[in-house]
Structure formats: structure tokens, C-alpha cells
Homo-oligomer: A and B are copies of this chain.
Amino acid sequence: MRESIKLIKVKEAIQADNDALAEALRNELRKRRIFLVNLMSSPGAGKTSLLLQTAAALNKSLRVAVIEADIDSAVDTERLADSGVMAVQLQTGGFCHLDVSMVRQGLDSLDIDALDLIFLENIGNLVCPAEFDTGAALDVMILSVPEGDDKPLKYPLMFSKCDALIVNKIDYLGTGLTDFSLDVLSDRVKKLNPDIILFPLSCRTGQGMQDWVNWLSEKIGTFADLFQDRFEK
């Protein structure tokens, strides 16, 4: 493992720099009353679908935008823009996660003082994004049913650091195609992270979406009394 140890040290130094930048960004956004949510998952778990549904539900009360990270394409940004969601594209050119410097680039391209809620759609990856603080107020993960209920055993850091876990594609349950158990998943996740809250839902059918949207709205509402004047209108 000699070659690898070298890499670990580099990574640790970069992470320490990033942590300081993340804390500074979080404080700055709090002062400017902008709520940043970091959304992470495996490829194909449903990040863009969730953002489309969530933005549609919150668009009336909040000004929402998405910073969309992709290694090489603009597929998701186009999909969001087609649905009327303001979105900017960060092409990471091979990078496997977002760090604060990339998030800043995304923020700089938006008129953020005219926004209330910004989602980061992180790179589809359960490993590296878990290691880098983005400066977001909330970390949210999506696990989709077809991925299996054993994932907390295999990617523990991601499950440990998130505030909420969305379990997407629950319409796959009970089809005979999968032996996924929500109870088994919940036990495994809570062992890693007793405070995490789970939202089983289906972006395709809409089932369960409202619970997630209500919880998120509440979080935004209590965020430094942030949008109080707007919510009281």
C-alpha cells in the first residue's frame, strides 16, 4: 500500500483546506439568507427527478435554482431548464465530487441574492462526495430501491453524514423484482446515524413526495428565521 499512503496524505491536506472554505461559505450564505442543499446519490438513483418534483412543489413560495455537476455532459441541466427550473452546469472534467471551489464557481454564475433555495446536484457517486464538505446547510442522500438495502454496510460514510435519506423508486417494492426491505434498510442506517430521517417515495408516481417537501420547507423556515417575512405574507 506504499503508493496509496502518499495519496491519502494529499487527500487529507486538500480536505482540511476544503473544510475551512466550507465553513466560511456556510456562514456567508446564512448571512445572505440563502439555503444551500447538497444532494448526493449513485448514478441513476433519481437526483434530477427529485429536483424537478421538489422545485415544482416549492416554486410558488421560494425562488429556487440548481447547480448541476456533471463530469462531461449537460443532459440534466437541459432537462431542468426544459421544465422551467433555473439551472447552471458545472462540468467537472473527470472530478468525482464537488468541493467548495467548484460550488463557488456555480454560485458566482447565479444572481444568488435573488434566490432563496439552491440545490447542488453532486456527481453520481457514493464514495468521494461524502468526503468533501460543500458548504451546504443540509446534506441529503438518495438511495433507490434497485440498488439494494445492503448499501449502508458498504458506503457507511455517506449514510453517516447525511441529514436525510430519500428512498426513491418505492414503486419497485412488491413487484417480485427485488427483495429490498425498508425495515432492514432503516435498521442499518440508524445504526450509523441515529438522527437521520428517511423519506420513502417514488418520483415517478409522486407517492411520499409531500412528506419530503414539508420537511424541507420546515428546515428552510427555521434556518436563522430566514424567510420569515416571505412565509408570513
Known contacts A124-B42, A148-B44, A171-B177; is-contact A155 B71 (Cβ 8 Å): yes
28 CB < 8 A contacts A-B = A1-B102, A1-B105, A3-B17, A3-B18, A3-B21, A4-B99, A4-B101, A4-B102, A42-B42, A42-B44, A42-B147, A43-B151, A43-B154, A44-B151, A71-B127, A71-B154, A73-B153, A73-B154, A73-B156, A124-B127, A124-B154, A125-B126, A146-B146, A146-B147, A146-B169, A146-B172, A169-B177, A177-B177
A58 lies within 8 A of chain B by Cβ: no
Closest partner residue, chain B, to A72 (CB atom)? B156
Count class of interface residues, chain A: 35 or more
What residues of chain A have their CB less than 8 Å away from a CB belonging to chain B? 1-4, 6-7, 10, 14, 17-18, 21, 42-44, 70-73, 75-76, 94-96, 99-102, 105, 123-128, 131, 144, 146-148, 150-151, 153-157, 169, 171-172, 175, 177, 204
Residues in B with CB closer than 8 Å to A4 are 95, 99, 101-102
A14 to B151, CA, bound (A): 29
- Nearest-neighbour CB distance to chain B for A207, whole angstroms, equals 13
- Nearest-neighbour CB distance to chain B for A209, whole angstroms, equals 17
Residues in B with CB closer than 8 Å to A94 are 127, 131, 157
Residues in B with CB closer than 8 Å to A172 are 146, 172, 177
Closest partner residue, chain B, to A128 (CB atom)? B96
